[in-house]
Amino acid sequence: MDPIRRKLLKTGAAATAMAAAQSVFAQQAGQRGSFYEKGPVRIHYEEEGSGFPLLLIAGGGLNSTIAGLRRPDPFNPFEEFKGEYRCIAADLRNANGGQSSGPLEVDRPWDSHTDDQLGLMDHLRIDKFMVMGFCIGGPFIWNLLERAPDRIVAAVLAQPSGSRPEARDLFYENNIKGWGPEFVKRRPEVTMETVDRYLTKMYRTNPDFVFTVTRDFVRNCRTPVLILPDDIPAHPYAVAMEAAMLAPKAEVSMFPWKEPKERIPLAVRQIRSFLRAHRLASS
Amino acid sequence: MPFYEKGPVRINYEEAGSGFPLLLIAGGGLNSVMAGLPRSPFNPIEEFKGEYRCVYADLRNANAGQSSGPLEVDRPWDSHTDDHLGLMDHLRIDKFMVLGFCIGGPFIWNLIKRAPDRVVAAVPAQPVGFRPEMPTVLYDGSMTGWGPELVKRRPDITMEMVEKYLTRMYRTNPDFVFTVTRDFVRKCQTPVLILPDDVPAHPYAVAMECAMLAPKAEVSIYPWKEPVSRIPLAVRQIRSFLRAHRPPASASA
Which of B211, B230, B240 has the CB atom closest to A273's CB atom?
Answer: B240
CATH superfamily ID and name for A45-282: Alpha/Beta hydrolase fold, catalytic domain (3.40.50.1820)
Partners of residue B237 in chain A, C-beta under 8 Å: 251-252, 270, 274
Indicate the length of chain B as a whole number.
253
Interface predicted TM-score of the whole assembly (ipTM), two decimals: 0.96
Q: What is the 3-state secondary structure (H, E, C) of B71-96?
A: CCCCCHHHHHHHHHHHHHHHCCCCCE
Q: What is the pLDDT of residue A259?
A: 96
CA B221 remoteness from chain centre: 20
Residue A254 to residue B220, Cβ atoms within 8 A: yes
Cis peptide before B21 (omega within 30 of 0): no
The sheet carrying B20-25 orders its strands as: B3-6, B9-16, B52-57, B20-25, B96-101, B119-125, B192-194, B217-219
Please report the residues numbered 231 through 250 in chain A whose beta carbons come closer than 8 angstroms to any beta carbon of chain B: 244-245, 249-250
pLDDT tens-digit map of B217-230: 999 999 999 999 99
Q: What CA–CA distances, in Å, run from A121 to A76, A116, A126, A130? A: 21, 9, 5, 11
A157/A165 Cα distance (integer angstroms): 20
CB atoms within 10 A of CB A280: 14
Residue A266 to residue B217, Cβ atoms within 8 A: yes
CB A90 within 8 A of CB A117: yes
pLDDT tens-digit map of A255-273: 999 999 999 999 999 999 9
| Residue B195: closest CA among B53, B79, B44, B82 | B44
Q: Which amino acid type is present at position B147?
A: G
> With left for phi above 0 and alpha for psi between -120 and 50, is residue A266 left, alpha or beta?
alpha
Coil, strand or helix: which one is A46?
strand
Mean confidence (pLDDT) of chain B: 97
B168/B160 Cα distance (integer angstroms): 12
Tell if the pTM clears 0.90, that is, is over it: yes
CB A87 within 8 A of CB A48: yes
Is the Cβ of A282 closer than 8 Å to some Cβ of chain B?
no
Q: Which among A227, A266, A278, A280 is the top mutation candidate for probing chain B, defined by the most B β-carbons within 10 Å of its own β-carbon?
A: A266
Query: What domains, with CATH codes, occur in chain B?
Result: 3-130+176-245 (3.40.50.1820)
| Residue B194: closest CA among B91, B109, B75 | B109
| Residue B180: closest CA among B111, B85, B97, B134 | B111
Which of B221, B236, B243 has the CB atom closest to A281's CB atom?
Answer: B243
Strands B9-16 and B52-57: antiparallel
A74/A63 Cα distance (integer angstroms): 17
Is the Cβ of A81 closer than 8 Å to some Cβ of chain B?
no
> With left for phi above 0 and alpha for psi between -120 and 50, is residue A170 left, alpha or beta?
alpha
CB B148 within 8 A of CB B167: no
Residue A266 to residue B218, Cβ atoms within 8 A: yes
B3: β partners: B12
Q: Is the dihedral of CA A230, A234, A238, A239 positive or negative?
A: negative
Top pLDDT among B97 and A19 is at: B97
Residue B236 to residue A250, Cβ atoms within 8 A: yes
Percent of chain B with pLDDT over 70: 98
pLDDT tens-digit map of A31-53: 468 999 999 999 999 999 999 99
CB atoms within 10 A of CB B87: 20
CB atoms within 10 A of CB B51: 16
Mean pLDDT per block of 10 residues along chain A (283 residues) reads: 40 39 40 89 98 98 98 96 98 98 98 98 98 98 98 98 95 97 96 98 94 98 98 97 98 98 98 94 61
